[in-house]
Amino acid sequence: MNNYKISEKFESLKPEQVFEAGRTSFADLEMEIVKDRTFALLLQVRTTGDHEINANFIVNGFQNEFTLTLTSETADAEALHALAEQFAERLKQNFSEQ
């Protein structure tokens, strides 16, 4: 199983704004939301297609940080890294729209 994880700090945004930007970013990438725990600022999503990639997106309001963890049985590490970069780019675009 391949794993890839990124953690980034966020400034000047509320945790709920980061969470909503993450939700929008996953929708932009056409990923399916499996679990939405708004009260815990947690999303579990997966890709649809040839390679299933599972993602956990957690926003930590106490540390002003979000974490994206990607795992897959079939996708290689490069595919996980590419998806993480796409997500980060979309997330930043969605931040600027708020």
Q: Which domain holds residue 71?
A: 2-96
| Interior/surface letters 12-51, b for 16+ CB within 10 angstroms, e for the rest | ebebeebbbbbbbbbeeeebeeeeeeeeebebbbbbeeee
Question: What pLDDT score was predicted for residue 18?
Answer: 95
91 CB neighbour count, 10 Å cutoff: 22
Q: Which residue positions in the chain have pLDDT lower than 70? A: 98
- The CATH number that applies at residue 11 is 3.30.310.80
Nearest Cα to Cα of residue 69 among 96, 93, 95, 87: 87
Question: What pLDDT score was predicted for residue 98?
Answer: 66
Number of domains in the chain: 1
